[in-house]
Structure 1
Amino acid sequence: MAERGCPGAAPWGRAGAGGRAVAGAASEGPLERGRCRYLRTGRAWCQMVEVLLAVLVLVCSSVSGGSAGGYTGLPALGGIYYYHYGGAYSGFSGADGERAQQLDQRFHLLKLPIARAAMAVAGCLLVFPCILILVGVLQVPWRFPVWLLIECALDIVIAVGTVPALYYFFHSMVGVYNSSVCKEREQLYQSKGYQGFRCSVHGAEVAVGLLGCMATVAYLLSAVLAVRGYRTVRQKKQKPVRL
């Protein structure tokens, strides 16, 4: 009776009826052998794209809330510069300098909870596909095909949940930029000739939105591939054993 092989697993060069090893097994690369071959499947590639997108969202959201902003950001080197060395930032002195620092800190505190929430979501989205990749490498879907349906459901939930999450992110950010703190901060910097502190969504935050949309598409595609994988596994398991 012929032994049924696991889908996605390459031959290991086991001896046949005549004692001869399967030809070509010794020349296979590391991605052709056993469990590692899962990494060549469409589902695995889609999950690796999800990991990459989650990392980029994590980086962009950390940039959005990672510093106090303005010339007091970058561990206060700006403040040291214009308070002690003058030069380009010498327009801020005395009460104006202290007010600019206070507004920078308050503006940072307004954005910080939103940025932390985005980072937490990105962290979860980073862990989830990593777990799926590990599950695929361990060939759990072959032993328990129902897992693929569970994976499909989770992918759909994440894809659908990303839409309100992005709405909340941008709605909260717009609220921060429309606050009196941001408006006063913008006017103070503009009065000194600095134009880079407008109350509008910045590039890193726009990138979070674009990457989130791409992640939604990736998870929907992953759900489709999970359903196809479930059908493939069921068909191979239902094939009669050849004598």
Structure 2
Amino acid sequence: GSLERRRCLYLHRGRACCQMMEVLLAALILVCSSVSGGSAGGYTGLPALGGIYYYQYGGAYSGFSGADGERAQQLDQRFYLLKLPIARAAMAVGGCLLVFPCVLILVGVLRVPWHFPAWLLIECTLCIAIAVGTVPALYYFFHSLLSVYNSSVCKEREQLYQSKGYQGFWCSLHGAEIAAGLLGCMAAMAYLLSAGLAVRDYRTAHEQKQKPLQL
């Protein structure tokens, strides 16, 4: 009926499109954060091979044996534990950013802003708060990661792997972490745009509500 048509029309509005973009960005942030907090890679002991250590990602047997292999495992574990809280915090933020626009889309489809236009001002305030809050969140994210990469654990791990000729264990930001930061910046801009669209829609809804009273 006409009610269902109006609900579907909301999904074609600028605010809904912006909210769907926020959902996509949040999902990508969540993926990048999980990659950052994933296994540190490195070497896993194979007892059946008498202390030879197997390179997980390269598929080749390494020259590590005995104390070197055990040390590599210890450094991998310590490095992983250093990054884990940062990754979990980033995933929690990504999860919240994923849920919030989904709720806003549902509210819009149910036409709550039409029946209660003041909701749009609340939505605008929340969007601005999220956009502004993204700045210190990104600072904390990169500052914490750089602290891990500058730690003695990371430096020793990097040197140990390089001594065996393996690359890719550098103490620097990797692609997924940089991507998460860029996606966070894009999400902040999307929320600012949503705030502006919410104000515009509030004015439109308020004017339409006032028209019957003026007749």
* TM-score between both structures, scaled by the size of structure 1: 0.81
Shift, 1:101, TM fit: 0.6
The reply to whether residue 83 of structure 1 matches residue 55 of structure 2 is no
Where do 1:173-192 residues align within 5 Å? 173-192=145-164
Equivalent residue number for residue 17 of structure 1: none
2:171 to 183, 199, 223: 199
With over 3 angstroms needed to count, the CA separation of the structure-2 counterparts of 1:88 and 1:234, relative to structure 1, is same
Task: Give, in whole Å, the separation in 2 of the partners of 1:242 and 1:234.
Answer: 13
Equivalent residue number for residue 29 of structure 2: 57
Helix, strand or coil: the match of 1:92? strand
Where do 1:58-137 residues align within 5 Å? 58-67=30-39, 69-72=40-43, 76=44, 79-80=45-46, 83=52, 88-137=60-109
Shift, 1:88, TM fit: 3.0
Matched residue type, 2:41? G
Task: Give, in whole Å, the separation in 1 of the partners of 2:169 and 2:54.
Answer: 22
Matched residue type, 1:235? E
The reply to whether residue 172 of structure 1 matches residue 144 of structure 2 is yes
With over 3 angstroms needed to count, the CA separation of the structure-2 counterparts of 1:85 and 1:115, relative to structure 1, is closer
Equivalent residue number for residue 37 of structure 1: 9
Task: Give, in whole Å, the separation in 2 of the partners of 1:219 and 1:84.
Answer: 48
Encode CA deviations 1:9-44: one digit per residue, 9 max, x unaligned: xx739xxxxxxxxxxxxxxxx8xx131111000000
Are 1:53 and 1:211, in contact at CA under 8 Å, matched by a contact in 2? Answer: yes
Encode CA deviations 1:117-156: one digit per residue, 9 max, x unaligned: 0000000011100000000000000000000000000000
1:153 to 103, 120, 125: 125
Matched residue type, 2:52? Y
Equivalent residue number for residue 12 of structure 1: 2
Instruction: Give the number of equivalent residue pairs.
Output: 209
Shift, 1:242, TM fit: 9.5
Give unpaired runs (5+ residues) of structure 1: 1-10, 14-29
Compare the two structures and name the one with the higher strand fraction: 2
Matched residue type, 2:110? L
Task: Give, in whole Å, the separation in 2 of the partners of 1:182 and 1:41.
Answer: 48
Equivalent residue number for residue 212 of structure 1: 184
Encode CA deviations 1:95-132: one digit per residue, 9 max, x unaligned: 11110011000000000000000000000011100000
Shift, 1:70, TM fit: 2.8
Task: Give, in whole Å, the separation in 1 of the partners of 2:120 and 2:186.
Answer: 22
Equivalent residue number for residue 7 of structure 1: none
Give unpaired runs (5+ residues) of structure 2: none
Are 2:53 and 2:64, in contact at CA under 8 Å, matched by a contact in 1? Answer: no
* TM-score between both structures, scaled by the size of structure 2: 0.91
Are 2:90 and 2:141, in contact at CA under 8 Å, matched by a contact in 1? Answer: yes
Task: Give, in whole Å, the separation in 1 of the partners of 2:189 and 2:7.
Answer: 27
